[in-house]
Amino acid sequence: MKNASFHLALPCEDLEKTKHFYVYKLGAQLGRSSNTWLDINLRGNQITFTKAGVFDFNFKSYRLSDQVLPSFHFGVIVNSERWNMLYLRLISMNLEVTKKATFFENNVGEHESFFVKDPNGYMVEFKNFKNKDELFAIQPS
């Protein structure tokens, strides 16, 4: 299943704000929708947002190296040109974007990452791997 897309369903407080964020800010495509749910095509992956009201998680963050990351997040992996373009574009919109961070520097799986918060409070991560072939590589012991 080398080229399989994923599907993720998430609760949502406001469908219009969510649609506006993903379509007009992130540049994703709107798929099928109704007055209680909508599908977003995020780089070939289907995210379904269902109107469900406030949703809470008990463990909001975790530590990876010296970075504190959101426990619940999802995202996409893009090439470095697209990654930099997205970062600059989202910053220019005054969205809640984290600083760029590099993880596993000089090791297998080295990648840059940043997060942006959507209108539901979800953190969307954008990653750029130094070596795309190391996406699922296992760290040596």
What would the pLDDT profile of 64-101 be if each residue is shown by its tens digit? 777 777 767 788 889 999 999 999 999 999 998 999 99
In a domain, 64, yes or no: yes
Does 43 fall in a domain?
yes
Alpha carbons 106 and 92: distance in angstroms, whole number: 30
Q: Is 1 inside any structural domain? A: no
114, 100 Cβ separation under 8 angstroms = yes
Q: Is there a domain that residue 26 lies in?
A: yes
Does residue 24 fall inside a structural domain? yes
Structural domains of the chain, count: 1
Greatest mean pLDDT range, 2-16, 18-32, 100-114, 119-133: 18-32
**Residue 19 resides in a domain:** yes
Question: What is the domain-level CATH number for residue 79?
Answer: 3.10.180.10
Q: What is the sign, positive or negative, of the torsion defined by CA atoms of 54, 99, 74, 24?
A: positive
Instruction: Find the domain containing 22 and state its range.
Output: 7-134
Instruction: Tell me, yes or no, whether 86 lies in a domain.
Output: yes
Task: Decide: pTM greater than 0.85.
Answer: no
Alpha helix (H) residue ranges in the chain:
15-20, 80-92
